[in-house]
Structure 1
């Protein structure tokens, strides 16, 4: 099927030709965690059909946003990963998350939630921390974020060697995305930040977090 286009000589239109279809940017969000198998992508994108996911991945390969490769034995599986052009969409997703945060409101009964979905909006608020890898613990799960600009941006599950651990709930994650500073969240008792030294967590003092609006 030919790719739909706005047929406009406009940079925004060209960008939307490539990533404007439903699910595409959310697939990018998942691949910012590094290479993912098709089954893992499907599990973390509740609501997408297998046909649509396969179609979007093919479109992303054609646009040079993602690529597919075969893992060597003993794990002979295919994985998808972002190209540099795909990784360059991180500021776009960050801006969309900032823009969408005021519309979050109360979580609806039909809303799915994965803890690592907070990685993109939370990452820039952790960037002012000294630790290079921050493990984030929530009731919904655990993920870890790199704060030094390295790749991948985040990973699902605990970090192998975290420099700090941040414990908070989903409401506080949303509040931080909306402008609550991490320092303020720690002082209010809404979040707990611990540095990890030689495998031993130590609670960070208030004021050690990234600076932001309160």
Structure 2
């Protein structure tokens, strides 16, 4: 359960501009990273705190409260036996997926060298990789295994909206394919410097599966 906080006056740029209005809602530090976490699905407060290293409990609670107020997230109680609350994005909150994707693409060149102080989670690679795989034009679910952990990507074919989740798809369904690679290779694929098929031929990526999605990943 997040700590209570006293209500504060909402800050605003007070500009009649769509960009300014957007920043009124998501411009505070940590807000878009909370969105990034919730794009993977509903999360408990403790899970959010664990995957946002560096955020204080007070700030996290404050941001979530603000995001509820702005209709970006909702909070609901899980049915027994879980007896826990989770936060999840509203439709308006999920609409920030392209924004996060564009920020990830713009920020990718800054990842040339991993700093000793950098935290890392496997699912942080999901959004840029998902955007790179959308061009395959095939429906299906692919499990992605990195040294740092595992996530899954759900592709919707040409023109569809992809989604992703933390951990393997086996928790919520069955994956159609599985790929294994290291983080540097994942970044190369996400940035367009390397296709999955090229990574397979070069021995940097392993693809498992027999269906259309696995074949597309191999470039067959």
TM-score, L = length of structure 1? 0.89
1:36-75 Cα distance to aligned partner (Å, 9 max, x none): 0000000011110000000000011011100101111111
8 Å contact from structure 2 (residues 138, 216) kept in 1: no
Q: Please show how residues 95-110 of structure 1 align to structure 2 within 5 Å.
A: 95-110=102-117
Q: 1:168 aligns with which of 169, 173, 181?
A: 181
Rounded Cα–Cα distance in structure 1 between residues aligned with 2:15 and 2:68: 22
Does residue 195 (structure 1) correspond to residue 179 (structure 2)? The answer is no
For residue 7 of structure 1, give the secondary structure of its aligned residue in structure 2: coil
Does residue 145 (structure 1) correspond to residue 158 (structure 2)? The answer is no
8 Å contact from structure 1 (residues 44, 114) kept in 2: yes
Structure 2: runs of 5+ lacking an equivalent: 1-7
For residue 47 of structure 1, give the secondary structure of its aligned residue in structure 2: coil
User: Which residue number corresponds to residue 38 of structure 1?
Assistant: 45
Question: Shift of the alpha carbon at 1:24?
Answer: 0.5
Does residue 10 (structure 1) correspond to residue 17 (structure 2)? The answer is yes
For residue 76 of structure 2, give the secondary structure of its aligned residue in structure 1: strand
More deviation in 49-58 or 183-192? Answer: 183-192
8 Å contact from structure 1 (residues 125, 182) kept in 2: no
CA RMSD, Structure 1 to Structure 2 (Å): 1.8
Q: 1:136 aligns with which of 141, 144, 164?
A: 144
8 Å contact from structure 1 (residues 19, 25) kept in 2: yes
Question: Shift of the alpha carbon at 1:195?
Answer: 1.7
8 Å contact from structure 2 (residues 141, 175) kept in 1: yes
Distance 1:32 1:196, change over 3 A: farther
Rounded Cα–Cα distance in structure 2 between residues aligned with 1:14 and 1:183: 42
Instruction: From the two aligned structures, give the one with the greater helix fraction.
Output: 2
Distance 1:84 1:204, change over 3 A: closer
Rounded Cα–Cα distance in structure 2 between residues aligned with 1:159 and 1:54: 29
Rounded Cα–Cα distance in structure 1 between residues aligned with 2:75 and 2:58: 17
Rounded Cα–Cα distance in structure 1 between residues aligned with 2:216 and 2:12: 51
8 Å contact from structure 1 (residues 162, 196) kept in 2: no
TM-score, L = length of structure 2? 0.87
Structure 1: runs of 5+ lacking an equivalent: 209-214
Does residue 66 (structure 1) correspond to residue 73 (structure 2)? The answer is yes
Rounded Cα–Cα distance in structure 2 between residues aligned with 1:46 and 1:188: 35
